[in-house]
Each structure stands twice: as C-alpha cells, then as structure tokens.
Amino acid sequence: MIRVLLVDDQHLIRAGLRMLCEAQPDIEVVGEADNGRDAVTLAARLVPDVVVMDLRMPGVDGITATGRILAGRPGARVLVLTTFGDDDHLYPALTAGACGFLLKDAPPGELVDGVRRAAAGGSPFSEEVLQRLVRRAVHARAEPPRPVSGLTAREQDVLDLVAEGLSNSEIADRLHIGVTTVKTHITSLMTKTDSPNRVRLALFARGG
C-alpha cells in the first residue's frame, strides 16, 4: 500500500482527495493536515510514502513545509497539488525539494497516477507545468551548457528516460536492468551533472 498524507487548508478539497485515493486498492490515506506546521509534525510521525501538498495555507505555507519535511527525511516524496501553476510558486516548490507539481484542475486519474509515480521515485508534472519547465530550459540555453564528460552509454540511456519522467522501476523495465542498478546510475548522473535532486537532473536532461 502507498501511504499518503493529505495537506490542504480546505476541508472539501481534502475530503474529495481522500475519497479519490481510498477508492484505489493500493493507496491508503494515513493522515490529513490543514496547515504546513501540522504537516511537518504528521510527516515525521506517520512516515507517509507520499505527501500531497497544497502551497497556499495559513501560517506555515506548503513551500516552507516541504523544505522542513525533506530536511528531516531527505528521501520523502512531496507532490505539490495546487491551483497556482505560475513561476512564483513552481520554482520555489522545486527548490524546496518537491518531486512533482500537479494542478488541481487535473483529471482525477492524473492525480492517482501522480501519487503512484511519486511513490515509485518518479517526477509527475501536469502537462502545462512541464511545458513551462521546457520553455524555461530552452530560454536558459542562451549560455552554452556545461559539458558533461565520462557518461557511459547506459548512463545516457538512463538520463534520457529520467527526462521522460519515468520512475526507477519503469526505467529498470525499459532497459532490462535491476532497480538497484538504476539507482546507482542516477546517483552517478547527479554527481556528473551537479544536480542536487532528480527534478534538476530531469531539467538538465531536457536542456536546462
């Protein structure tokens, strides 16, 4: 089961998300919070596989909460779900360590798939958000990209699939290698590309 913590200051939103998640045979909602402070506390106590995080909340906001959760558990998966897809929210959330960014007007199936992909190590993004990241990366190429030396053919294969947003298990299936081997390649790629996390690695692969 994928253990999920829901964080949103609107009760109706949380109720809808709970119903959607609990209708899935492989997802369990283990807790809810209506503010970032409680989210940090619950994430430490409940140890969810995925935290579905709103951004605008009273008191401690979602970006701050994301940073605090990941400071305590660097391997935690925080999936942003918000109404605001603009750059002022997107890039601070990614900088804080969010593994993905979905919009609240996304189809229900996209959210469910996003939770599963996040739990499996992927980086789910709404199409609108992904296009914004790609445009930003293209514009950033005004300066020549830093050369990367020493990539093996297999590392390049893994990098290409990370850029597509595939999870570790999906990459392993596609390349017919073990998940542990995929993790080893990704760790090496992060070092060689100076990428602090998987999202930055994906952006690098897309030309950012």
Read off the CATH number of the domain in which 190 is found. 1.10.10.10
Domain tally, the chain: 2
What CATH number should be reported for the domain holding residue 87?
A: 3.40.50.2300
- β-pairing, 50-53 vs 100-103, is unpaired
The per-residue pLDDT for 42 is 97
| Domain stops at, among 102, 137, 172 | 137
Amino acid at 151: L
pLDDT digit string (tens) for 151-206?
Answer: 888 988 888 888 777 778 888 999 999 989 998 998 898 888 888 777 778 777 76
Q: CA of 81: how far to CAs of 41, 132, 158, in Å? A: 19, 16, 27
Domain hosting residue 192, numbered range? 153-207
In a domain, 146, yes or no: no
What pTM did the predictor assign? 0.68
- Does the residue 20 lie in any domain? yes
